[in-house]
Chain A
Amino acid sequence: MNTTSLKLFQGIGRYGVLLALLALIVFGWLRYENFLGAFNVLSVLRYNSMFALVALGMCFVIITGGIDLSVGSTAALGSVVAALLSPYGVLPGLLGGLAAGLAIGACNALIITRLAILPFIATLATMLAASGCALLLAGNQSVSVSYESGFTELGQGDFLGFPIPAWIALFAYLLGSLILNLTAFGRTVLAIGGNEDAARLMGLPANQVKALVYLASGGLAGLAGVILAAQFGAGQPIEGVGWELFAIAAVVVGGTLLTGGVGSVGSTLAGVLLLGLIFNILNFENGLGWISLSAYWQSVIRGAFLLLVVAIQARLSMRTEEAA
């Protein structure tokens, strides 16, 4: 076994994304005034916290070797439910959105573990269903949230000078990291993705754990929907298109293997921020006035990043395979 390439392989997964993120931050800091100013930093964090939540759920799902395409429309559904319940207060809105997400997650869990349908197809179907429900509930338009109940604080407010959605995301990531690293459940998630048959033969409850992972992914997407509604003042039934694939990209850029079994919550967050910063830097670059790159470049650059990461992963895993 060629241990150097293996080390490199894991190093890139764990530290490559952090290094890239750091490099991007230094680049921005040197090049643009106010890049590290409180306003910019906080708004980047506020905006990206929704994606971070969705990516966290996706991270767990991908580690088990599955995929969840329904997160985008689940977030949309969550935002609509939260907006509809927002007149009754912060808590009903929050819990409503969360419950909607959990419901979709439960559907995924049932279809995947009971009917034994591929995660790809199962979540494709629930994606349509969630989207349909969102449109039905919203009557095909965005639903304004109530500004009296204080619900919008969830998206727009600050706590200790830090955006509330960022607090929520931070808390979720800490909890996620704790679960993945310090509980038997988390280690089982990793074992299932590494080798599901082996995990079963080791006597680990593979089906229950998988079900819980999809449930969690749904719940987190619902939560992201709540923040979406609170931040933009409306439940948006057609928002969330393509979120699932961006979340997958963030997870993969973060070094989580799509074949499952390897992954880290922290580098997923770094992946989200990396992809998010690309947008931010484009804005600054245009602000300088030297060049005018349209915002559309961001997806091109994101795609290029994804390609780079998977190509490196593929090369290294091919080499380790040959060395083995």
Chain B
Amino acid sequence: MAPLLTMHGIDKRFAGIPALRAAELVVERGEVHALIGQNGAGKSTMIKILTGYYRKDAGEILFDDNPVEFSSPQEAQKAGISTIYQEINLVPYRSVTENICLGREKRRFGLLDWPAMHAEARSLLARFKIDIDVHRPLMVYPTAVQQMVAIARAIGFEARLVIMDEPTSSLDEREVRVLFGVIRQLKEAGVSVIFVSHKLDELYAVCDRVTIMRDGRTVQVAPITQLSRLDLVTSMLGRELTQVLQESHDANLSNRDGREPVLEVRNLAAGRKVRDVSFEVGSGEIVGLAGLLGAGRTESVRAVFGADRPDSGTIAFAGRENAIAAPSDAIQAGMGFCSEDRKLEGIIPDMSVRENLTLALMPQLSRRGIVDETRSREIVDRFIKRLGIRCSGPEQRIRELSGGNQQKVLLARWLCMNPKLLILDEPTRGIDVGAKAEILGLIRELAGQGLGVLMISSELEEVVEAASRIFVLRDGYTAAELTGEALNERSVMAAMAHGHEGAPGAAHG
């Protein structure tokens, strides 16, 4: 029998930048198919093209042997494709029943038949062994239940293909088992499932085959049992093990010894994603935080910077413990933080390069509240030159700059404050190769001058090359600390894949 879904040669560009290049995805009838890849690999784009959220530039989609091109999620839903999004896309104030039944209401005499709808909601939820009051608003229930409601909604549409985008990110173990039970039920009923997850254990537990994407391309398709965890990680991150650079870090290492730690984090817990994280950064040292998506890297550094409130643990910075309650405290103490989302949390798009660059420095740049324009210009000119920021001039609006140059401006925003520690969350995301190298070179140079750098990057090669020490986080815990000999891509991947116990050993096995 022909596959249920065939996506072939899919191309997609956003503003000229290719997001998908001849990507492939084939899902058989009644199989659970894992779709994995790093952030930006193209998984979401692929799914959104399938469900009609985006339009593809090229390629073809066959669903149930017919060529299709949906123009909206509604249409895809009607054709039998239901999607459960990563962020729960439901209406929190409305009742459970409404969230399950809206869009295919039951009616009597033209009016809504509430009793029938409540009954339907109850029976759908019963499949998940959930027995709750369906009249109450969704928001009163824990996230896990909300997630189940989202899944119940999707299945209630009599879907033939169910797409689950990281459905387990907010579920505990027991709930995950229930979900897997439901997925197996679906499979027995002949429904196909596309399962997106970064938790490798789960893939082995429930999936039949796996499609691995990288840089907008499909790089590997295979039955999941034929691939080891290490194979999966390697394939996602795009480095053949034979090619792994065994660079020596002697230079970095000798630098580090005997230095005072600038930042010491012990047993940090914050929210759902950070359970018990410890790490430290010395002055003049580049430290990497590695881990798969959802391991708690970003959440940890946000707590350190005072952007989110930690629940417990100690954060000692520049000799003072737990003295940071807000970003302004962190900045005053000498910390800088480049967020992973430049657009949402970094640049002020309508402001000029100059204004963006001096945003944090402004209070120091002014006398009686009036900005000292001459000094501001001097500083901006200096940093534009020093970092090689390519713009038509300091007055150009930052939104018109390329990603790499925007990132340099944000780096300069902190560098001009002479910080003791710079936290960089995905500093090279969405930046072209040339600019990447420049930014990494710059970071190294700064560390050489005594700046402590804490760097999060999903590009393993990059962290391994730059950092003298890497802390690997896994599911909210510090799983490994790698230095010296142990610091290579292989060991980091192993720690990401297996966690604490097997860190170095498994890599050799």
Contacts and interface: CB of A to CB of B under 8 A. Distances in A.
A6 B137 CA distance: 10
Contacts of B416: none
Contacts of A201: 73, 83, 85, 89
A202 interface: yes
A191 B91 contact: yes
Contacts of A202: 89-90, 102-103, 153
B102 A1 contact: no
A137 interface: no
Interface string B128-164: 0000000001011110000000000100000000000
A197 B98 contact: no
Nearest to A188: B102
Contacts of B111: 178, 182-183
Interface residues of B, number: 27
Contacts of A257: 93
B124 to A, nearest CB: 15
Contacts of B112: 181-184, 187
Nearest to A196: B91
Interface string A271-299: 00000000000000000000000000000
A203 B103 contact: yes
A80 interface: no
Contacts of B142: 1
B73 A190 contact: no
A194 B141 CA distance: 16
Interface string B48-72: 0000000000000000000000001
Contact of B90 (A3, A178, A182, A198): A198
A1 B94 CA distance: 16
Contact of B91 (A183, A261, A324): A261
Contact of B74 (A178, A181, A203): A203
Given A182-B111, A194-B92, A201-B85, A6 B102 contact: no
B103 A204 contact: yes
A321 to B, nearest CB: 10
Given A183-B111, A187-B112, A195 B91 contact: yes
B77 interface: yes
Interface string A167-207: 00000000000100111100110110011011111111000
Chain A interface size, as a band, is 20 to 34
B73 A203 contact: yes
A14 to B, nearest CB: 12
A6 B85 CA distance: 26
Contacts of B103: 202-204
Contacts of A324: 139
B175 interface: no
A154 interface: no
Contact of A195 (B92, B114, B140, B141): B92
A262 interface: yes
B77 A198 contact: no
Given A187-B105, A188-B102, A202-B102, A1 B140 contact: yes
A190 B94 contact: yes
Contacts of A194: 91-94
Contacts of B110: 183
Interface string B70-106: 0011100100000101000111111000100011010
Interface string B411-441: 0000000000000000000000000000000
Contacts of A191: 91, 94, 98, 102
Contacts of B107: 184
Contact of B89 (A1, A181, A197): A197
A202 B73 CA distance: 8
Contacts of A195: 89-92
A302 to B, nearest CB: 27
Contact of A198 (B83, B91, B140): B91
A79 to B, nearest CB: 34
Nearest to A1: B140
A204 B89 contact: no
B325 to A, nearest CB: 16
A203 B110 CA distance: 20
A97 B233 CA distance: 69
A256 to B, nearest CB: 11
A182 B141 CA distance: 24
A177 to B, nearest CB: 12
A278 B483 CA distance: 74
Interface in A255-272: 257, 261-262
Contacts of B94: 187, 190-191, 194, 261
27 contacts: A1-B140, A1-B142, A3-B140, A182-B111, A184-B105, A184-B107, A184-B112, A187-B98, A190-B93, A190-B98, A194-B91, A194-B92, A194-B93, A195-B89, A195-B90, A197-B89, A198-B89, A198-B91, A199-B102, A201-B85, A203-B73, A203-B74, A204-B102, A261-B91, A261-B92, A261-B93, A262-B93
Interface of B: 72-74, 77, 83, 85, 89-94, 98, 102-103, 105, 107, 110-112, 114, 137, 139-142, 153
Given A182-B111, A184-B102, A202-B103, 18 more contacts: A6-B139, A182-B112, A182-B114, A184-B112, A187-B94, A190-B94, A194-B91, A194-B93, A194-B94, A195-B90, A195-B92, A197-B89, A199-B102, A201-B85, A201-B89, A203-B103, A261-B91, A261-B92
5 A-B pairs with the lowest CB-CB distances in the bound complex, closest first: A194-B91, A203-B74, A198-B89, A182-B111, A261-B93
